[in-house]
Chains A and B, each alone.
Chain A
Amino acid sequence: NAGVTQTPKFRVLKTGQSMTLLCAQDMNHEYMYWYRQDPGMGLRLIHYSVGEGTTAKGEVPDGYNVSRLKKQNFLLGLESAAPSQTSVYFCASRTPGLENTGELFFGEGSRLTVL
């Protein structure tokens, strides 16, 4: 069972370059999320999607764009990378629940370094 798969796992960019992180889930989950993790700061939500064709801003959306053209995929784009975007990025997905208690399933992370 693949679960949530992120590609690439590692990437080094120069300031100003663009790139896209791909997240794919095979659990038919409606909700998908992109987080970034920085030392001592826990997980911060960048963008999320509650269904195919929908996206919404999270806590730290500036400098990122997302698209959810297919239910199973959620793309995170950096149009012009900055050193402040050096981080580990995690994709997660879950099913909707009557309460906001649905378990989040995370990918293994993508480590991005911007020089």
Chain B
Amino acid sequence: GQQLNQSPQSMFIQEGEDVSMNCTSSSIFNTWLWYKQDPGEGPVLLIALYKAGELTSNGRLTAQFGITRKDSFLNISASIPSDVGIYFCAGPSFHSNYQLIWGAGTKLIIKP
């Protein structure tokens, strides 16, 4: 079945560092979604990608839709303390128009 694999599972970063994470699948996705979950909150959509090769930015965040349609990348530049949280990738299920497939998330932790 469709699965999304996110890496890394977690990362410790220094404030000011750039961050990269990715999401891969053995299946093709036509849409890639990146959500962020702040501690104690529900996820919120950060970036949506609809076209292979597309590069989209939202402030310090940049996401790319891989050319093969089997992967996507999210980069955060100059990280700040409020970037902590869990970042999820998601994509539409081939088997249902109503459901999303979710990755397990990448947890971002700022080193004190």
A: residues with CB less than 8 A from B are: 4, 31, 40-45, 48, 50, 56, 58, 90, 92, 99-101, 103-104, 106-109
User: In chain B between 23 and 50, which residues have their CB closer than 8 angstroms to a CB of chain A?
Assistant: 30-31, 33, 35, 40-45, 48, 50
Contacts of B40 in A (CB 8 A): 108-109
Using known A-B contacts A42-B102, A50-B98, determine if residue A100 contacts B43 with beta carbons closer than 8 Å: no
Residue pair A42, B45 in contact (C-beta under 8 Å): no
Q: Which 4 residue pairs spanning A and B have beta carbons closest together?
A: A106-B42, A100-B92, A42-B104, A43-B102
Q: Using Cβ atoms and an 8 Å threshold, which residues of chain B touch A99?
A: 30-31, 50, 92
Q: Would you list which residues of chain B between 71 and 112 have a CB under 8 Å from chain A?
A: 88, 92-93, 97-100, 102-105
Q: Is chain B's binding surface mostly helix, strand, loop or mixed?
A: loop
Do A101 and B92 have beta carbons less than 8 Å apart?
A: yes
Q: Would you call A104 and B98 a contact (CB within 8 A)? A: no
Q: Are A42 and B99 in contact (CB under 8 A)?
A: no
User: A40 contacts which chain B residues (CB < 8 A)?
Assistant: 9, 104
Chain A residues whose CB sits within 8 angstroms of the CB of B92 once the complex forms: 99-101
Chain A CB within 10 A, most for which of B35, B43, B44, B50: B43
B99:A58 contact, CB within 8 angstroms: yes
A104 to B48, CA, bound (A): 11
| Nearest CB of chain B from residue A63's CB, rounded to whole Å | 19
**Is the Cβ of A100 less than 8 Å from the Cβ of B42?**
no
Collect the chain A residues with CB atoms within 8 Å of residue B31's CB: 99-101
The complex places the Cα of A44 from the Cα of B102 at a distance, in Å, of 8
Measured between alpha carbons, how far is A23 from B31 in the docked complex, in Å?
Answer: 27
**Residues in A whose Cβ lies below 8 Å from that of B99:** 45, 48, 58, 100
8 contacts across the A-B interface (CB closer than 8 A):
A42-B102, A42-B104, A43-B88, A101-B33, A101-B50, A101-B92, A104-B45, A108-B41
Least Cβ–Cβ distance between B80 and chain A, in angstroms: 23
| A42/B105 in contact, CB under 8 A | yes
> Which of B42, B48, B102 sits near A108, CB closer than 8 Å?
B42
